[in-house]
């Protein structure tokens, strides 16, 4: 399903140092296609003419790879200052008619268009200002934890590097995929500060800012964690290769 008011930002600027390779992370291949191409394949079914890919490390090679298959827009993140900075750089590249912004990561090659469609529909139907896609993992190490209050409402997303021992035991994690009301996103992106152990601008900080503004925040938990597996190592790349056969686009 295509949405006329949807813009999609794909984050593909990172180096991927844990891959132990000189190649940009999103250019590594799963089932013969780069991870970035897999993500764009799912994205174009929702917003064919309104996709912005944020490039940075090896920008020319990443652009060339995507442009071989798709007509998408590119913006360059000159300094790799974090996910919120990448989104801020991308926002001016979206069409003026965009009302909803879907943010994806270029290193999540198994994500399916139907999952994204369901996520966007849930976001729209709930009239949320911000929706976060989550899943549950037996081993949540490395992922941002979904912190809920007593009423089951999202309080914040705590990154691994900033989580305390109690928070690290939480199995519900952030999948790194978000849906925003564009006006809300545009108004809060400048409020994010790099006040964390990584000294980066985290997109996850939009949760606390939106909460303080009393905006509705939705957490949508999916039951297939394989689809949102981020690939950060060669071992995870091999795992994705093994899993992709059971997922049909």
Q: Which residues are catalytic?
A: 18
Token duo for residue 189:
């992106």
Q: Measured between alpha carbons, how far is 218 from 128 in angstroms, rounded to an integer?
A: 6
Q: Compute the half-sphere exposure of residue 6: CA atoms within 13 Å on the CB side of its CA.
A: 22
Strands 6-12 and 51-55, by their bridges, are: parallel
- Contact predicate 74/55, CB 8 Å: yes
By the 10 Å C-beta count (0-12 exposed, 13-18 middle, 19+ buried), 142 is classed as: middle
């Amino acid at each position: 399903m295509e949405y006329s008011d949807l813009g999609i930002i794909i984050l593909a600027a990172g180096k991927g140092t844990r891959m132990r390779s000189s190649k940009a992370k999103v250019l590594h291949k799963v089932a013969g296609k780069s991870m970035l191409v897999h993500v764009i394949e799912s994205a174009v079914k929702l917003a064919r003419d309104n996709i912005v890919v944020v490039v940075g490390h090896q920008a020319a090679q990443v652009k060339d790879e995507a442009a071989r298959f798709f007509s998408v827009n590119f913006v360059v993140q000159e300094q790799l200052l974090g996910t919120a900075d990448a989104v801020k750089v991308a926002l001016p590249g979206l069409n003026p008619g965009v009302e909803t912004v879907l943010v994806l990561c270029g290193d999540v090659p198994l994500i399916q268009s139907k999952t994204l469609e369901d996520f966007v529909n849930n976001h729209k139907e709930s009239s949320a200002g911000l929706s976060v896609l989550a899943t549950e993992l037996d081993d949540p190490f490395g992922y941002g934890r979904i912190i809920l209050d007593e009423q089951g409402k999202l309080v914040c997303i705590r990154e691994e590097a900033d989580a305390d021992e109690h928070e690290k035991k939480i199995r519900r994690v952030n999948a790194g995929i978000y849906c925003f009301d564009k006006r809300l996103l545009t108004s809060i992106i400048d409020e994010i500060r790099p006040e964390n152990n990584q000294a980066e601008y985290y997109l996850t900080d939009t949760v606390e800012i939106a909460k303080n503004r009393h905006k509705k925040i939705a957490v949508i938990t999916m039951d297939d964690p394989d689809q949102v597996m981020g690939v950060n190592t060669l071992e995870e790349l091999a795992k994705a290769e093994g899993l992709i056969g059971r997922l049909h686009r």
